[in-house]
Amino acid sequence: MIFARLAVVLTCGLLTFSLAGGAALAQDAPSSGGAFIGRIFDATGLRTPPPPAQDFVRDSRSEQLEYRGFEATPAKDPKRKAAAHLRGMSAELDAAAAENRRRAGRVAAPDAPAKPAR
C-alpha cells in the first residue's frame, strides 16, 4: 500500500514539474527532438568536442581534399554484346530448345500412361 501511495505522489510531482517547467521552457524550446537530446548530452558532459588532430595527421593531409563522387561513372562494359550478336544467340537457343523437345518426344516416360488406341 505504501508503494502505491509513493508511486502516485511521484507521478503527480513529475507531472506538475513537467507542466510548470514545460511552460517556462516553451519560449526557447528546441525545434526537434534531436536538439533536445543534444542539449541533454551537452549538459551532462556526454558530448565533448573532438580533440585537436595530432601533428602527423595534420602533416599527412593535403590542403585541398579531393573527394570522389558517390555516383559511379558509367564505363563501357567489355562483356556487353551487340544487338545482332544477341539475336543470333537467341536463335541458337531457340533451335537447341526445339531439338531438345524433339528428342524428348521420342522417349517414353516410365510414369506416363499408355497412349489410348484410336
* pTM of the complete model: 0.28
pLDDT, tens only, 43-90: 898 888 889 989 998 888 777 777 777 777 777 777 888 899 999 999
**By percentage, how much of the chain surpasses pLDDT 70?**
64
Cell of 13: 510531482
Listed as own residue / partner, the contacts of 41-48 with beta carbons closer than 8 Å and 24 or more positions apart are: none
- d(Cα 94, Cα 2) in Å, to the nearest integer? 85
**Residue bearing cell 511521484:** 10
Q: Which of 47-51, 92-96, 114-118 has the lowest mean pLDDT?
A: 114-118
